[in-house]
Structure 1
């Protein structure tokens, strides 16, 4: 069944969806990345921007609302996904949330493989939490093109609200921007009403300049989000890569008026790291991007550490990590 372009049902969406535009090669080739300046900016951020006490607790609750709670293991079962979805519905123990006034807090979405979409939807019925599915030959993206497009259609048909696709890295490494644009445009069309996150696999793109150009091309082709990594590469989300992608998003918004979301994924497992990413988003893009329709963490273990930090804020003592399990 071919997907049709229908309005998304995601409850947190308040922005007009990025329709994309024609490929603008002048814009793409003008993109640059001053690596040394980017690294200096990112190195200074953790020391300059820290929040404490009730402000830190509030920021950590915001981080939870922006998590794509994820399981992408070969031994996933319907039972494991159901337990993960229970954690998505109640990400922090009620005795911690009540003193904070944050009852009803949930994560941003649950992300699974195609075969786990139906169990996830069943477990999340009535919650409003979207189900995201990885697709297009995740994580390598090297299966035949028609199968990658068909995979998107199958996931949309069984109820995925969001599709996380992987681009062909070779198009970036060889500078074939037209091929990348055409591929991304086909994926966007196949998604229909489901929102599409374009995974750039930045650790395999060779340079920050390539990251900047790939970000622009994917947005021009209609990506709703751009995402750093599959989580399976040797190098995943980093602050320099994030800064480059965030500034590409800012440039795209300034020129077109459309806001595109950002998702760092892989390697973000500590609450203090989440705070740094949130402060980077706030400084570079502003408060509007600190909402789950425009920002997500691709993570699972991150939630456990955030819950532990919130427990410390409420009780004044650190609990053992096993008391904050995922399921």
Structure 2
């Protein structure tokens, strides 16, 4: 079932809106994977974004779109199923990854699940995202859960290694069991306007991924303009990206609503022209339940409720789940728990 809020049918239980038959994010039967298309430089050059208009539109979302009480709980449960639980730290260890995978298996305390009456929904995140070194650890820890394993590859977070090295890392991650690959583009190609080079690299990375889905990280905080963000989004989609993603989480400026509007509107335009649905993943700085609701409202308004599914929308998050779990407990008790009662790892 798809989450519905503003247009929820009368008589439907709010919590039921969070149910997803496949929380791991496997594409729905009607979903066609992006096959890639020839690079259309005329289309790329027609792309323009009005920064002031984007900022005004983004500023209205948090004020106009709010949900409360049981409806908020339904949205937040849905948000968990759209989440890539992530650990991308220099001090990661196999033990930390195993603990994160244990949290992915049981993302919300059982007493909260029982209190909300949603045990039958089997709410789980869409994926666990780790460095290549820990793919095997995550695959083993998540065996039998249906939760995807995503690997950040291609010299994350800067993407400045030789192309052959980056392609080899993708192939190694796929061989170890990753079924999603988060790649980073070389930002200099965008700043130079070298769209052919960007297209060729992403196309090569898509081939290296094979059946694993590819999420292209644009590093939007380093692309200078919203028009650059939009053009890079289009080129990556033409090259065969399954998702476009804002950030590595390591930039000074990560995901925000105005940049998300630029990318989401390119997804909509691409769908109108090709009939292909592309996923969107904001990442970096999304740490509160309220902010996750703002992003979900943006997707609902710009692309429709249909896009609020794991194969079309994800949050890249490391601490978001903690705040969502606190909000869900508040729904039951009227009190906010301390963070340590919902440890991640």
Specify if TM > 0.5: yes
The whole-number CA distance in structure 2 between the counterparts of 1:41 and 1:48 is 11
Q: Structure 1 residue 175 and structure 2 residue 189: aligned? A: no
Return 149-158 or 11-20, whichever deviates more.
Answer: 11-20
Counterpart secondary structure, 2:98 = helix
Q: Structure 1 residue 44 and structure 2 residue 60: aligned? A: yes
Q: Structure 1 residue 30 and structure 2 residue 46: aligned? A: yes
The whole-number CA distance in structure 2 between the counterparts of 1:304 and 1:45 is 23
Q: CA deviation at 1:315?
A: 1.4
1:209-288 equivalences under 5 Å are 209-288=227-306
Q: Structure 1 residue 111 and structure 2 residue 129: aligned? A: yes
Aligned residue number for residue 3 of structure 1: none
Q: CA deviation at 1:78?
A: 1.1
The whole-number CA distance in structure 2 between the counterparts of 1:147 and 1:319 is 46
Give the one of 95, 108, 115 matched to 1:79: 95
The whole-number CA distance in structure 2 between the counterparts of 1:261 and 1:102 is 27
Q: Structure 1 residue 68 and structure 2 residue 96: aligned? A: no
Q: Deviations over 1:264-315 (max 9, x none)?
A: 0000000000000000000000011101111100001000000000000011
Aligned residue number for residue 311 of structure 1: 329
In the alignment, is the contact (CA less than 8 A) between 2:25 and 2:310 conserved in 1?
A: no
Aligned residue number for residue 321 of structure 1: 339
The whole-number CA distance in structure 1 between the counterparts of 2:118 and 2:181 is 29
Q: CA deviation at 1:102?
A: 2.5
Name the TM-score, length of structure 2 as normaliser.
0.91
Q: CA deviation at 1:213?
A: 0.2
Q: CA deviation at 1:11?
A: 5.7
Aligned residue number for residue 70 of structure 2: 54
Aligned residue number for residue 6 of structure 1: none
Counterpart secondary structure, 1:26 = helix
Counterpart secondary structure, 2:244 = strand
The whole-number CA distance in structure 1 between the counterparts of 2:223 and 2:172 is 29
Aligned residue number for residue 217 of structure 2: 199
Q: Structure 1 residue 98 and structure 2 residue 106: aligned? A: no
Counterpart secondary structure, 1:319 = coil
The whole-number CA distance in structure 2 between the counterparts of 1:160 and 1:174 is 32
Counterparts in 2 of 1:196 and 1:312: CA distance versus 1, 3 Å: same
In the alignment, is the contact (CA less than 8 A) between 2:25 and 2:126 conserved in 1?
A: no
In the alignment, is the contact (CA less than 8 A) between 2:185 and 2:218 conserved in 1?
A: yes
Q: Structure 1 segments of 4 or more deviating over 6 A?
A: none
Q: Structure 1 residue 290 and structure 2 residue 308: aligned? A: yes
Q: Structure 1 residue 12 and structure 2 residue 26: aligned? A: yes
1:136-147 equivalences under 5 Å are 136-147=154-165
Q: Deviations over 1:17-42 (max 9, x none)?
A: 00010001111111110111110000
Q: Deviations over 1:94-136 (max 9, x none)?
A: 1111232322110110000001001101100000000000000
The whole-number CA distance in structure 2 between the counterparts of 1:74 and 1:47 is 38
Counterpart secondary structure, 2:129 = strand
Q: Number of paired residues?
A: 318
